[in-house]
A = this chain, B = another copy of it.
């Protein structure tokens, strides 16, 4: 397999985008990624798009072709990939394999979701399709409820507190306030989180990531070609994906994501590094408890110590390891299919030294971690300055 690098990145401002449609956003993100590496459309060999539920949300399937068409890239192969909230990360991995295989020399990977045009209950129903429709959603188990069960178990087993979870939201809002692409541009206090209403106890409104519109894109090339397009190619040194039971009730353990553990272990083996080598990581914090589990399951902290580590500021900017400098899903927003690609955009900016007020000094190695549903899919990428 060939070595693969990211040469260009771009994203839209995440948020409630009333004036722009599904197709507009991905084209904006894609155009920015192309401009970022001075790439012309005719040099692109293939396109992969991660998006979760455009059929339910905006009535549109066949999104690969849609994007190729509206970006003027036909007749290149254009493929949509879906793995619920991990759609973006899995699209990145699929594009990575297409370049690594030698099949394509220049691949664009995009991620997009348009969520705020759809009534809330329809969005909840569409998102419920990420879990087990027949055995969870049909019985009323929406995603906040499923993650609330995991939070309760984590509290029971490790003594994790609601304040510790709240500290994740406070940290991610603080990071988002330094990111002009983030959905939320404001800091919040621990009191704001603790006083917000329960959505599914113990998870409160500010423990939950928002409904967001947005898109992100990256350009991939073989490493040896990358230097012609950028002075700062970022190599993808590991790409690993794993699956688990779709429904929470079929898992062996509710206080960890086995898929994250499997994917992270494989990724560290591929990269030949250990968790302590990572300088900056974007992890999947769809709920605050999800970030706590992620930083444990990836191996940044011992199992059960994620809540305490968060509360002590060890994951903040300037801490031991900077987690979710973009603001994460909580602060930057969670346009489902875009999230996994946005994570890569943020890590590339960090490794290039372009992360503005949230820059991690001297960042050399970054990691992205994207989860589908309640953990039935996890995908981990490790990136390094080439």
User: Which residues of A pack against B, CB within 8 Å?
Assistant: 1, 21, 47, 52-56, 58-66, 68-70, 73-84, 90, 93-94, 97-98, 100-103, 125-126, 128-134, 137, 240-247, 250, 258-259, 262, 372-373, 376-377, 379
Whether A246 contacts B69 by the Cβ 8 Å rule is yes
Q: A65-B372, A77-B240 are in contact. List 10 more A-B contacts (CB 8 A).
A: A55-B126, A56-B56, A59-B133, A60-B134, A65-B376, A74-B244, A77-B93, A79-B94, A94-B94, A100-B103
Pick the residue among B56, B83, B133 that contacts A79 (CB under 8 A): B83
Give the CA-CA distance A93 to B82 in the complex, in Å: 16
A258 neighbours in B (Cβ, 8 Å) = 75
Give the CA-CA distance A316 to B99 in the complex, in Å: 40
Give the CA-CA distance A247 to B66 in the complex, in Å: 9
CB-defined A-B contacts under 8 Å, sample of 26: A1-B102, A54-B129, A55-B126, A59-B129, A60-B129, A60-B133, A61-B82, A62-B377, A63-B82, A64-B377, A65-B83, A65-B243, A65-B244, A66-B132, A68-B243, A69-B376, A74-B242, A75-B244, A75-B262, A77-B240, A77-B243, A79-B241, A81-B82, A94-B94, A97-B98, A97-B101
Q: How far is the CB of A334 from chain B (nearest CB, A)?
A: 15
A372 neighbours in B (Cβ, 8 Å) = 62, 65
Whether A66 contacts B241 by the Cβ 8 Å rule is no
Whether A137 contacts B83 by the Cβ 8 Å rule is no
- Cβ-closest chain B residue relative to A125: B59
A377 neighbours in B (Cβ, 8 Å) = 62, 64-65, 78
A76 neighbours in B (Cβ, 8 Å) = 242-243
A373 neighbours in B (Cβ, 8 Å) = 62, 65
Interface pairs A-B: 7 shortest CB-CB: A101-B101, A65-B376, A77-B241, A61-B129, A62-B84, A68-B243, A75-B242
Q: How far is the CB of A89 from chain B (nearest CB, A)?
A: 11
Q: How far is the CB of A155 from chain B (nearest CB, A)?
A: 26
Whether A131 contacts B97 by the Cβ 8 Å rule is no
Q: How far is the CB of A58 from chain B (nearest CB, A)?
A: 7
Q: Which of A1, A102, A377 is the most central at the interface, judged by chain B CB atoms within 10 Å of its CB?
A: A377
Whether A79 contacts B75 by the Cβ 8 Å rule is no
A79 neighbours in B (Cβ, 8 Å) = 81, 83, 90, 94, 241
A61 neighbours in B (Cβ, 8 Å) = 52-53, 82, 84, 126, 129-130
Q: How far is the CB of A50 from chain B (nearest CB, A)?
A: 10
A242 neighbours in B (Cβ, 8 Å) = 74-77
Give the CA-CA distance A236 to B58 in the complex, in Å: 36
A102 neighbours in B (Cβ, 8 Å) = 1, 100-101
Give the CA-CA distance A242 to B82 in the complex, in Å: 20
Give the CA-CA distance A70 to B242 in the complex, in Å: 15
- Cβ-closest chain B residue relative to A70: B246
- Cβ-closest chain B residue relative to A378: B75
A68 neighbours in B (Cβ, 8 Å) = 243, 376
Give the CA-CA distance A241 to B98 in the complex, in Å: 13
Pick the residue among B73, B131, B132 that contacts A243 (CB under 8 A): B73
A243 neighbours in B (Cβ, 8 Å) = 47, 64-65, 68-69, 73-78
